[in-house]
Amino acid sequence: MKRILIVTTPVMLFVLLALGVPSSVAEKPQKAIERKMFGIGVIAGEPTGITGKYLIDNNSAIDAGVGWETSGDNEFHIYGDYLYHLYGLLEVKSGNLPLYFGGGVRFIDRENKKDKFGIRIPVGIEYLFDNVPLGAFIELVPVLNITPDTDFDIEGGIGIRFYF
C-alpha cells in the first residue's frame, strides 16, 4: 500500500498542476447557481453502477462510484476522484454546463484474474438543470494501470444524479 501511495500522490499532483486554469475562468460560475451539496445516481458505461458526488464548493468536488464490468467478466469496480469544475466555457440558454477534470484512483476486483489498481484522469461535462436538482453527465476517463501490469485503459460513462 505504501508503494501505491508513493507512486500515485506525485502523479495526481502533477496532473492537477499541469491542468492549471486561468484565474478569470476559475474564479466563479458565469451564472450564480445554488447547488445542493450531495448527489447520488447511476452511471452506464465502464463501470456501470452507482455514483455519488460531494461538492466541496462550487468548483471542487469528490466523486466516487461502485459498479461492475459490462464486458461479461465478473469484475467489481470502485473509484474515487477529485474534480475541478470550469463554468462559462460552454454556454447554454438555461441551466449550467460546466466542464470538469481531475484525478483519482480505481480498483478492480477481478474473479480468476489478478486485481487491477490504476490512476484515473476524468474529463467530462455535466448539465445542471434549472429549478430541478438533477445533473446529467458524460465523461471520458484515461486510466494508467499500475498493477498487475503497467498499461492504459480508456473508460467512460453517461449518467444522472439527483442532488439533495
Model confidence, pTM: 0.79
Residue range 2-163, CATH number: 2.40.160.20
Domain positions in the chain are 2-163
**pLDDT tens-place string over residues 116-140:** 999 999 999 999 999 999 999 999 9
Looking at residue 33, its pLDDT comes to: 56
**pLDDT tens-place string over residues 11-68:** 444 444 444 444 444 444 444 456 789 999 999 999 999 999 999 998 999 999 999 9
Element (H, E) at 15: helix 2-18
Looking at residue 74, its pLDDT comes to: 85
Distances (CA, A) of 116 to 65, 106, 126: 16, 8, 28
Distances (CA, A) of 86 to 19, 28, 89, 132: 12, 8, 7, 21
Average pLDDT over residues 138-155: 96
